[in-house]
Structure formats: C-alpha cells, structure tokens
C-alpha cells in the first residue's frame, strides 16, 4: 500500500508508547508492535459519540465492536449464510485503529479530510497483518462491516444518543432488529474493565476457532 505522509522533523515524535511497552510508529506502524491487550485496553476507554450518551458509563468502542460483530453474524444468517472466522475477526477489529487515534465523530472526520483517513488506513493494515488478515480488505468484507456498523450506529443513536427514529433512519439506513435480551446486554454501557474483558473474550473465542474454508 502507498500512502502520502507528512514530512518528519528532527524533533517530531510520531510513536505512542503502549502499556505493553511497545512503541507504535504512526507513520510506519509495524505489525510486530501491535498487541491485542493494548487494543482492548485502549478501545475500552474510548467513548463513542464523543461521550454524548446516557448511562453511568461511556459507550466504548470496545463494546461497539462486540455489538458490530454480533450484528454481522446475524445479518449473514438472515441471508442463509455463516461468516468465516476471519471475517468475524475483521469485523471485531474494524475500529482497532481508534486505540491509537481515538474515535472522531463522522462530521469531524469530514472536516479533517484525507490525512486522517490515511493514518487510520495505515494502522488498520498493520493490525490486519498482525492477526492474519489481508492488509487490504476485499470489497465484500468492507461492505459487510459497513452494513453491520451502520446497524449498530442506528441502535446506539436511538437507544443511547437521543436521536429520533426518523433522523437515525436517514443517517444510518434501515435498522436491523435485535431481541430485547440482546439489546439489554449489549446496549447498556459497560464499565471500561468489563468492556476490555468482553472484547478480549470475544477475540479469544474467534481466534481460537479453526478456519473452515475461504470466506463466502
């Protein structure tokens, strides 16, 4: 992959130190410097919707990622398909770069333009390689993740962020319904510790499976 990068200066620090001790370079991130514990720890402390959600805790990107992976599975089953392990892993990790750069709301990303997207894409490529996924995701996987992400955003917007149903429908498309028990579990904001634990548990469950064959 080829990216346009800003020139370095002699004094510029472009790496972040993680709790694992790794130093992740934002200009040229190495898959060897990426640890799932760092990702889970960071995402569990990054708030969706800039923190403008109800409840005693922020709705974290880690919790959002678990929700998106579940929705992706259920959307596939509604079409009569089962998702390959690698695609479920990619869905869980779709927002992994935000453990480094945070979760910027879509309007702010639009203001920043291409530079932010370049950094985010570079980080996602490194994360993908670290966990056995292609650096560049195939178009069907991108579409699948986007559909599940938008369905999750609809639920978060209407259940937690104060959006009206019609407004959310215009912004995020048709909702994908979940049963009441799943909504109570996955849309009640978790503490940072619970979000980290449940993200890591889901990662371990998916990563520990055998790959049954090529993605559909």
Question: Which residues 6+ apart lie within 8 Å of 86 measured at CB?
Answer: 132, 133, 211, 215
Q: 185, 73 in Cβ contact below 8 A? A: no
Nearest-5° Cα angle at 131, 127 to 137: 65
Angle between helices 61-78 and 36-43 (to 10 degrees): 100
pLDDT tens-digit readout, 120-174:
999 999 999 999 999 999 999 999 999 999 999 999 999 999 999 999 999 999 9
Q: Phi first, then psi: what are they for 212, rounded to 5°?
A: -80, -15
Q: Residue 45, SS3? A: coil
Q: What is the pTM of this model?
A: 0.88
First to last CA, the chain: 25
pLDDT tens-digit readout, 85-104:
999 999 999 999 999 988 76
Measure the CA–CA gap between 150 and 161, rounded to whole angstroms. 14
């Amino acid at each position: 992959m080829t990216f346009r990068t800003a020139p370095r200066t002699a004094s510029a620090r472009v790496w972040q130190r993680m709790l694992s001790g790794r130093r992740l370079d934002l200009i040229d991130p190495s898959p060897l410097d990426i640890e799932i514990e760092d990702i889970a720890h960071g995402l569990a402390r990054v708030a969706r919707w800039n923190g403008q959600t109800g409840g005693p805790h922020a709705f974290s990107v880690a919790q959002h990622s678990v929700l998106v992976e579940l929705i992706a599975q259920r959307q596939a089953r509604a079409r009569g398909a089962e998702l390959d392990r690698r695609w479920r892993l990619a869905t869980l990790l779709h927002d992994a770069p935000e453990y480094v750069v945070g979760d910027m709301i879509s309007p702010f990303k639009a203001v920043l333009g291409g530079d932010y997207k370049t950094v985010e894409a570079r980080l996602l490529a490194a994360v993908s390689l670290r966990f056995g996924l292609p650096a560049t995701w195939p178009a069907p996987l991108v579409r699948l993740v986007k559909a599940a992400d938008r369905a999750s955003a609809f639920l978060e917007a209407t259940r937690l962020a104060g959006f009206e149903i019609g407004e959310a429908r215009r912004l995020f498309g048709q909702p994908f319904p979940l049963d009441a028990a799943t909504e109570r579990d996955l849309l009640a904001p978790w503490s940072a510790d619970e979000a980290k634990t449940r993200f890591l548990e889901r990662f371990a469950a998916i990563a520990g499976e055998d790959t049954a064959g090529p993605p559909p």
